[in-house]
Amino acid sequence: MAKGGGYRSAGTGRYVSGAAGRANPGTTVKEAPGKSGSSGGHYRSAGTGRYVTTKHGKASPGTTVFEK
């Protein structure tokens, strides 16, 4: 799958199929296409899709995704 769209696993950070992403909303994050260019990286919750603090992201690697 092309970067910048689709679903990513919070556990591995790898892209997964749309079916797998929709079936596992608590452990995957849907990414918007073309959203890049921010400085550094950020953590996003797989459950809510909201950005979380770096401290929370590092403490919860199975339910958060690091986005560059």
Closest of 23, 22, 8, 16 to residue 64, by C-alpha: 8
pTM over 0.85: no
Taking the CA atoms of 2, 56, 21 and 48 in sequence, report the sign of the dihedral they define. Answer: negative
pLDDT tens for each residue of 10-58: 888 888 999 999 999 888 888 776 555 455 788 889 888 888 889 999 9
Please state, in angstroms and as integers, the Cα–Cα distance from residue 10 to each residue in 25, 57, 62, following that order.
10, 10, 6
pLDDT score recorded for residue 59: 94
Alpha carbon 20 to its chain's center: 14
pLDDT score recorded for residue 2: 45
